[in-house]
Amino acid sequence: MGACVIFCAAAFDALARPVEPEDYIIAADGGLRHIQALGLTPRETLGDFDSLGYTPSGAKVFPVEKDDTDSMLAVRRGLALGYREFLLYGSLDGPRLDHTVANFQTLQFLADRDAYGYLIGKDTLVTVVKNGCLQFPAGCSGTISVFCLGTPAQGVTERGLYYPLEDGVLTSGFPLGASNHFTGEEASISVKEGSLLVLWERKAGFPARR
């Protein structure tokens, strides 16, 4: 099964990896513009369309006054279809900081359901790892930051980075994991219990997960 590829309404630069035939493309409101610019066709278009400014033909329309963001609507749809990997373009580089924070929480929503997602910005990738591990190959460069989400993250280990950590504890009240760096060695970030929000430079690419 491929990935659920969601295009949101914030700024979009370029694809971080090719869209495969088995991927399922969803346009979330104004994200439809990005899909059209790429010459692609979404499998579904949904949202309240306050960003797009008009309602596309065949779209699933939701009221503006709702609990879910348009990104969350798209994630729920992908989960219902059985997808476990989610790529969210147009989810980081927008003018609304509150929507960026909402998208961080959307990553946690996925992690709580045994799925995972990536927010893909012009220069940055973001994911949540819960009770698991991210592994980066040798040759990566740039900064990488790790933050606790929710209750204290136990058994946090960071290897192959400039500032190593072994079986540590990160809390949501102190940014101990900010501004670490790749060293060119193989690197890994793992947590035994809890969730970590991890942000790194897009040029390092996508990690392996276990």
Q: What is the pLDDT of residues 42-101, one digit of tens each?
A: 999 999 998 998 999 999 999 889 999 999 999 999 999 999 999 999 999 999 999 999
Claim to verify: residue 79 and residue 133 sit in the same structural domain: no
pLDDT at position 33 is 96
Claim to verify: residue 19 and residue 69 sit in the same structural domain: yes
186's CB contacts (< 8 A; 6+ apart) are 135, 136, 137, 138, 160
Claim to verify: residue 12 and residue 106 sit in the same structural domain: yes
Claim to verify: residue 33 and residue 94 sit in the same structural domain: yes
Claim to verify: residue 111 and residue 141 sit in the same structural domain: no
101, 122, 143 - which closes a domain: 122
What domain range is 114 assigned to?
4-122
State the chain's mean pLDDT as an integer: 97
* Percent of the residues in the chain that have a pLDDT greater than 70, as a whole number: 100
Claim to verify: residue 100 and residue 151 sit in the same structural domain: no
DSSP state for residue 22 in the 8-state scheme? T
Claim to verify: residue 103 and residue 38 sit in the same structural domain: yes
Number of domains in the chain: 2
* Percent of the residues in the chain that have a pLDDT greater than 90, as a whole number: 97
CA 107 to chain centre: 6
55, 88, 122 - which closes a domain: 122
51's CB contacts (< 8 A; 6+ apart) are 9, 29, 30, 70
90, 122, 154 - which closes a domain: 122
pLDDT in tens, 172-201: 999 999 999 999 999 999 999 999 999 999
